[in-house]
Structure 1
Amino acid sequence: MSVNPANVAPELRRYAELDQRLLAAVKGMRILTTVSWPASLEDRMIAAYSKGQFSLPEVTYQRPDLSAERAELARIEHEAGYEDPMGEYLSRTAESWRIAAEMLEAVGTSGVTAPSIVLYGRPGDAIPGSDRSNLDAARYFVELSDELGSDLLADDISVSIPADTLRDDLAHTLDDFFGAGVIAVEVDPELTAKAAAGATRIRLRGGTCFNEYDRHQLLAHEAFVHSLTALNGRAQPVLASLGRTSPRVTATQEGLAVFAELMSGAIDIARLKRISLRILAIDMALSGADFVEVYRFFCSRGQSPADSFHSAQRVFRGVPVTGGAAFAKDNVYLSGLLAVHTFFRWALKQRRMDMLRHLFAGKLALHDVITLEPHFESGAILSPRWLPPWMQHVHGLAGKLAFSLFVNRIHMGKVQAETISLSL
């Protein structure tokens, strides 16, 4: 959506103009597209790896020249300032895009690693409000999944849904929720991820079969968070950039999407394990492991050759495959989930359910929801038109969070099986 600054309140017109300049500067920047691998390369390598024929992939990248964009972003960052929350939002956003531009200009080299860590964090970073790290959390979920694996009965998720069938099913569901034709669902044979979502399009990887968990996750994660926040953001009268995911909001957006899976019952322990294994793999790569070693790591943890290759590929997007470098984006899924979960609990404790709704007004970071509150109150930033189904049932959400708040006071280290049995 293009905002006409002339239609904006005079005191906010400067920020609307800067926002339009920001959108223009980043229009051609596509982070994942720039660092992605061709599907044809993956298909050949997976076939070879499945036969035990290991060699390091040879990936060629098109390195962009973003010097003009970087200069414009630096100007916007300086001009926006920090006097007003909107200015702060624009400065922080321009800065993150400028760092992303530096990262993309280094594609194919180890120079991608440092800016990607600035944007997405490092596995060893501490979890806010805890003395544990993201790496500790990843190890916990992997170990728990492995311990439970032999005791859990297999869910009835073995039915394979072809991509074309799932496309038709999702299209029908989304038409009912958003309106006919608002979001298109397509099958893309060149897509390397299993699925990807934009404001008006969700793509599914061609030649792939999905199960019921996949379907639930696609709706909860891709449609009712990524697409939904993009649509709400595009409708903003001043900050149209809230319709696009900037690098600085990636952790919140991906964390919110995984939290949505949790709240809607679309996540399972295997999903948490997959997310956690990627963090362990990033740490391995940063410590010197090459692509084949990371691939074998995923295989050793129960993933198929194809899934192991795709997982390893995510770690080495845009960087040399010889070890010592990594693309850190997958670090945000778990750290973001933990941060969002904490934010939801904090908002409930403060009786601020309005802040939770505001989180869906566009592509926001948790920090933005708090600092931009005066502009939500004034109406300069609109409340979201759409909310995910699980957010529409406020009493149910409050019940889950209230229970979580209370039981967190119970220290599991002091709980013994005998204590529990005697209380029954």
Structure 2
Amino acid sequence: MNASSHAVAPELQRYAALDQRLLAAVRGIHILSTVAWPASLESRMIEAYSRGQFTLPKVSYAQPELGAARAELAAIEHAATSDAHADPLGDYLQRTADSWLVAAEMLEAVGTVGVTVPSVALYGRPDDLIPGSTQSNLDAARYFIALSDELGADLLADDSSTGIPADVLRMDLAATLDDFFGAGTISVEVDAELTAKAAAGATRIRLRGGACFSEYDRHQLLAHEAFVHSLTALNGRRQPLLASLARTSPRVTATQEGLAVFAELMSGAIDITRLKRISLRIVAIDMALKGADFVEVYRYFSACGQSVPDSFHSAQRVFRGVPLTGGAAFAKDNVYLSGLLTVHTFFRWALKQRRMDLLRHLFAGKLTLHDVITLQPHFASGAILPPRWLPPWMQHVHGLAGKLAFSVFINGIHMNRVQGDELLSSA
């Protein structure tokens, strides 16, 4: 069943039309490709860094002209704002248009410190507080790094186990995805110019050419990229009312990435080393914002146990689109841990409220947690369709409920009050 087989109710057609205008307006806005570095530059610099030649990379960017897009987005936002209180669809469209406006401002400043403020507006700061906590994202990052170090999680040892070439993994993933989504629904390709180790769209997953992958990488790609990013995009494509639910708008990034890392956690595809990696990036963003330059951030990753290529790629992620001399950062990597913690809290809250329907609806497209709650009347009416596909771990509701119920209860046990002799005497 696809979107075209569902008619949009007359009273909702205005929102559907605004949504189509929004999609047309943002067609030329591409965040990650605008701030990406050429793979050839990375290869040369990694070779130099391997020899101990630490110089700042020279990166140039093509600055997009987004004036027309901004004007149209402002008009859409104005039209949607008048209905934002009358219908949650107006609120959804207003928030989405506004986030694309912030993204356009960020991209038009590419290569300058002007990227930092809109980047932080979209993705948050390391010192932002975690919902329901007095601790910050940075506090959580430091906790996971320290715990990883205490457990002896060795990033270099983890790298040495990466023995699956990209071409071999491509064939393996393609077979698995054909079985799950249907033959040919999602293609898997090897891309020599890809900066990240992997990237996913609705119908295509790309692997970085020349990279080797571990079994953990394979599990993470399926749980994170395929069964969240691709899955929510495919479910979004079936939506008759809001076609934008198939595309990741800037405002949904934190929820989408948090949900993807949460999926790794629920499916057993995450380990303490992975948590250390995403936590190190948050500390690095904080360092860059406070003045550290690219080489200093690179050396931080290296000192924490990452290989030369991984240290370079990690530092590169922090400095995408901004000057490399310090005081600026591209804050996207802030969302992985903060998003995980927020999504985990949302799942526990929904279980406590006996609202498993909210959790299923989270996969109906590219939604924020706010959207899932406010758009419930339109899920109930059928204007927004439930998800066609759910990740394997979401298909077993009792298993998920068991994990979450245990998590909710165990959260009431304060570890700082537990003494070792109490545990021994009760055994």
- Scaled to the shorter chain, the TM-score interval is over 0.9
CA distance in 1, matches of 2:304, 2:212: 21
CA contact (8 A) 1:5 1:17 kept: no
* Residue of 95, 113, 122 corresponding to 1:110: 113
Q: 1:128 is matched with which residue?
A: 131
CA contact (8 A) 1:113 1:327 kept: yes
Q: 2:14 is matched with which residue?
A: 14
Deviation per residue, 1:162-207 (Å, 9 max, x gap)? 0000000000000000000000000000000000000000000000
Opposite residue 51 of structure 2, the aligned amino acid is K
CA contact (8 A) 2:113 2:323 kept: yes
Alignment of 1:10-409 (within 5 A): 10-81=10-81, 82=84, 83-149=86-152, 158=161, 160-409=163-412
CA distance in 2, matches of 1:24, 1:367: 24
**Following superposition, which runs of at least 4 residues in structure 1 exceed 4 angstroms of deviation?**
1-6, 154-157
Distance 1:409 1:113, change over 3 A: same
TM-score of the aligned structures, taking structure 2 as reference length: 0.97
CA contact (8 A) 2:154 2:305 kept: no
Distance 1:320 1:159, change over 3 A: closer
Deviation per residue, 1:30-85 (Å, 9 max, x gap)? 10000000000000000000000011000010000101101111111110121211
CA distance in 2, matches of 1:339, 1:312: 25
CA distance in 1, matches of 2:49, 2:162: 26
CA distance in 2, matches of 1:184, 1:377: 33
CA distance in 1, matches of 2:87, 2:321: 36
CA distance in 2, matches of 1:168, 1:200: 16
CA contact (8 A) 1:242 1:363 kept: yes
Secondary structure at the residue paired with 2:151?
helix
User: How far did 1:25 drift?
Assistant: 0.4
CA contact (8 A) 2:88 2:374 kept: yes
Distance 1:10 1:305, change over 3 A: same
Opposite residue 327 of structure 2, the aligned amino acid is G
CA distance in 2, matches of 1:171, 1:228: 14
CA distance in 2, matches of 1:156, 1:110: 33
Distance 1:150 1:38, change over 3 A: closer
CA distance in 2, matches of 1:373, 1:118: 27
CA distance in 2, matches of 1:150, 1:169: 28
Deviation per residue, 1:372-403 (Å, 9 max, x gap)? 00000000000000000000000000000000
Percentage identity across paired residues of the two chains = 79
CA contact (8 A) 2:162 2:212 kept: no
Opposite residue 42 of structure 1, the aligned amino acid is E
CA distance in 2, matches of 1:330, 1:397: 27
Opposite residue 271 of structure 1, the aligned amino acid is R
Secondary structure at the residue paired with 1:204?
strand
Opposite residue 12 of structure 2, the aligned amino acid is L
CA distance in 2, matches of 1:141, 1:54: 29
CA contact (8 A) 1:359 1:366 kept: yes
CA distance in 1, matches of 2:316, 2:153: 29
CA contact (8 A) 1:5 1:13 kept: no
CA contact (8 A) 1:119 1:247 kept: yes
User: How far did 1:151 drift?
Assistant: 10
CA contact (8 A) 2:3 2:238 kept: no
**Structure 1: gaps (5+ residues):** none
CA distance in 2, matches of 1:11, 1:22: 19
Opposite residue 397 of structure 2, the aligned amino acid is V
CA distance in 2, matches of 1:291, 1:312: 6
Distance 1:212 1:344, change over 3 A: same
User: How far did 1:6 drift?
Assistant: 11
Opposite residue 308 of structure 2, the aligned amino acid is P
User: How far did 1:7 drift?
Assistant: 3.8
CA contact (8 A) 2:192 2:210 kept: yes
Distance 1:98 1:413, change over 3 A: same
User: How far did 1:149 drift?
Assistant: 0.7
Secondary structure at the residue paired with 2:210?
coil
**Structure 2: gaps (5+ residues):** none
User: How far did 1:8 drift?
Assistant: 1.6
CA distance in 2, matches of 1:329, 1:92: 19
Secondary structure at the residue paired with 2:404?
helix
CA contact (8 A) 1:3 1:16 kept: no
Distance 1:330 1:159, change over 3 A: closer
CA distance in 2, matches of 1:305, 1:233: 39
Opposite residue 62 of structure 1, the aligned amino acid is A
Secondary structure at the residue paired with 1:149?
coil
CA distance in 2, matches of 1:222, 1:150: 24
* Residue of 410, 418, 421 corresponding to 1:415: 418
Count of paired positions: 423
User: How far did 1:28 drift?
Assistant: 1.3
CA distance in 2, matches of 1:64, 1:188: 24
Secondary structure at the residue paired with 2:263?
helix
User: How far did 1:319 drift?
Assistant: 0.2
Secondary structure at the residue paired with 2:387?
coil
User: How far did 1:158 drift?
Assistant: 2.1
CA distance in 2, matches of 1:6, 1:55: 57
CA distance in 1, matches of 2:178, 2:253: 27
